[in-house]
């Protein structure tokens, strides 16, 4: 059974199409967008979705998250990053069970699809439990077994990482929407020997590396000390020059370091809300974009980012650059939409599948209703989406050709039951 979306206002994010196309139809057959045009014929047995007056665009791609941290929402106030981790989060995480990870991940995936996100890049532990939850909701998930040296057993983590890749690599085990990378917590928590082994795994399986990078000043000092370098970018140039690396945050870098990053195979996952909550500072995102660096958007975990609503990330990303650098011309709204969609797909290596609405690509589509007081009248549709719309404006999320959220209802999840399970988890481990 196919889907025919009728009469929509299309923002495809495709380079080959106009930025805004009113009155368009989109035909989805099986999992694929097969035709885009006006007045398309309705195939037999196709579901017809009338999107008149609504926006159709690619679903959002969250390039840095900690999916199971939904249960740590609003535990941060009054703490610095390191105190929060050492005194609150890490002691509680030690008590989490595999089923806790599953239930907390399920809550996050529901939050994602209700607010228009179709794929997330996750970095946490016990990832197979998040994979199970992703399968229930139908979201795309890039995940990893995070590696670091603080446990004094990084080789065990590396072995678990490689086994995870072997098990789920390229759709194995029936999870076709699961993708893998090699996750390093950060260079400040991971030594040279482990980094070399991580890069070797990434090359062996042709998967990206994902890590926190230059999130705050203390991290930069620790990297310089641990590696004996003048700049954290020295480490990237030495060890990561020939692997694709997703760098989360990248707040504390100089102009000269940005020039050097532009010459490497890196993508930046910008997490503006989390950076502000943690008092880390404001990354030089417009400068990175001007230098040709692929910059995408992330939310971080809900413990520091509060929620997974990518509309928040877009708005703060734009406003912070304009305000911090005193330039109202920074961060064109359409470019911000690219950061949330096609740039995210490029960062995760899935731009041939998703990230734009194009014939031949997977149908990962959201429908956004701007007919609310805060969004009307629509003077500039791209700006309206970035500055005024919220996750609640998303009325439908389609992933891989399947409707997973319709009018706020997520198929296959009893929310009240999940809410109670997550509340019970945080009460038990606090």
Token pair 């960062």 is found at 347
CB atoms within 10 A of CB 182: 29
What is the Cα–Cα distance from 71 to 108, expressed in whole angstroms?
9
Cβ 357 vs Cβ 388: under 8 Å: no
Tokens of 2: 């196919």
pLDDT of residue 218: 93
Q: What is the CATH number of domain 60-348?
A: 3.20.20.140
The stretches in the chain having pLDDT less than 70 are 151, 171-174
How is the chain split into domains, by residue range? 3-58+363-410, 60-348
Q: Per the structure block, which two tokens stand in for 134? A: 């992703």
Question: What pLDDT shows up at residue 150?
Answer: 75
**So what's the pLDDT on residue 56?**
98
Q: Which DSSP letter does residue 123 get?
A: -
- CATH classification number, 3-58+363-410, choose in 2.30.40.10, 3.30.230.70, 3.40.640.10, 3.30.360.10: 2.30.40.10
The whole-number pLDDT of residue 214 equals 98
Phi-psi region of 117 (alpha: psi -120 to 50; beta: other; left: phi over 0): beta
Q: What would the pLDDT profile of 88-137 be if each residue is shown by its tens digit?
A: 998 999 999 999 999 999 999 999 999 999 999 999 999 999 999 999 99
Chain centroid offset of residue 344 CA: 7
Query: Is 352 strand, coil or helix?
Result: coil
**In contact, 124 and 101? CB cutoff 8 Å:** yes
Q: Which residue has the tokens 């641990």?
A: 226
Of 64, 61, 59, 60, the residue nearest 305 (C-alpha): 64
Phi then psi for residue 35, to 5 deg, are: -155, 140
Query: Contact at 8 Å (CB) between 332 and 290?
Result: no
Centre a 10 Å sphere on the Cβ of residue 52 and count the other Cβ atoms it contains. Answer: 9
Specify the pLDDT at position 85. 85
Q: Which residues pair with 9 in a beta bridge?
A: 55
Q: Are 293 and 265 in contact (CB under 8 A)?
A: no
Paired tokens of 91 = 């002691």
pLDDT at 9: 98
């Amino acid at each position: 059974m196919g889907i025919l979306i009728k009469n929509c206002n299309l923002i495809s994010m495709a380079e080959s199409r106009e930025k805004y196309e009113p009155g368009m139809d989109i035909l989805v057959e099986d999992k694929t967008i097969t035709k885009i045009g006006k007045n398309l014929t309705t195939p037999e047995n196709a579901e017809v979705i009338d999107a008149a007056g609504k926006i159709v665009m690619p679903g959002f791609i969250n390039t840095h998250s900690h999916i199971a941290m939904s249960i740590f929402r609003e535990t941060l106030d009054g703490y610095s990053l390191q105190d929060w981790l050492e005194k609150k989060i890490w002691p509680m995480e030690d008590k989490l069970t595999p089923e806790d990870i599953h239930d907390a991940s399920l809550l996050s995936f529901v939050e994602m699809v209700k607010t228009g996100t179709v794929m997330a890049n996750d970095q946490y532990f016990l990832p197979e439990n998040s994979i199970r939850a992703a399968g229930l909701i139908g979201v795309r998930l890039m995940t990893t077994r995070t590696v670091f040296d603080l446990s004094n057993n990084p080789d065990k983590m590396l072995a678990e990482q490689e086994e995870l890749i072997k098990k789920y690599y390229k759709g194995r085990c029936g999870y076709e929407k699961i993708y893998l990378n090699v996750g390093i917590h950060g260079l400040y928590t991971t030594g040279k020997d482990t980094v070399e082994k991580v890069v070797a795994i990434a090359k062996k399986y042709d998967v990206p590396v994902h890590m926190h990078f230059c999130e705050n000043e203390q991290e930069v000092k620790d990297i310089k000390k641990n590696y004996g370098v003048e700049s954290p970018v020295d480490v990237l140039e030495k060890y990561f020059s020939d692997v694709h690396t997703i760098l989360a945050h990248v707040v504390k870098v100089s102009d000269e370091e940005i020039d050097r990053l532009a010459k490497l195979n890196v993508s930046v996952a910008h997490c503006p809300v989390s950076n502000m909550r943690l008092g880390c500072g404001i990354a030089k995102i417009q400068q990175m974009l001007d230098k040709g660096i692929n910059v995408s958007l992330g939310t971080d975990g809900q413990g520091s980012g509060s929620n997974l609503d990518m509309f928040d990330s877009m708005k703060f990303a734009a406003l912070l650059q304009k305000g911090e650098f005193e330039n109202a011309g920074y961060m064109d709204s359409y470019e911000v939409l690219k950061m949330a969609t096609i740039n995210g797909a490029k960062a995760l290596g899935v731009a041939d599948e998703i990230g734009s609405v194009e014939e031949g690509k997977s149908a990962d589509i959201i429908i956004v209703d701007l007919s609310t007081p805060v969004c009307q009248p629509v003077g500039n549709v791209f700006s309206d989406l970035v500055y005024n719309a919220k996750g609640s404006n998303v009325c439908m999320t389609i992933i891989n050709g399947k409707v997973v959220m319709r009018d706020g209802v997520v198929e296959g999840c009893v929310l009240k039951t999940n809410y109670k399970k997550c509340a019970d988890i945080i009460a038990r481990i606090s």
